[in-house]
Amino acid sequence: MRRRHYYEYDDELPLSRDPIRGKIGGVCAGIARRFGFSTGVVRLAAIIGLFVAPHVVIIGYVMLWMILDEYI
């Protein structure tokens, strides 16, 4: 069985929070894991989004934090 790299895209993975690798709620880490991005890239996009549209990013982050299940 081939070992999969952490950042390799896998459409079978559910969108969920990853509190183990996350800093605040694990939302950015969960998005990065699901779509195969580096966690730093997703966090940087969220920080840039805070300067562009802070209300959208904050509300979206909190909603995803409450809705998404934790990845085990």
Residue spans of the domains in the chain: they are 1-6+15-72
Question: How do residues 39-67 score in pLDDT, each as one tens digit?
Answer: 999 999 999 999 999 999 999 999 999 99
Question: How do residues 2-40 score in pLDDT, each as one tens digit?
Answer: 445 555 555 677 788 887 888 888 898 888 888 888 999
Question: In this predicted structure, what is the pLDDT of residue 46?
Answer: 93
Rounded (5°) CA angle 51-56-58: 80
Contacts for 6 with CB less than 8 Å, ≥ 6 apart: 33
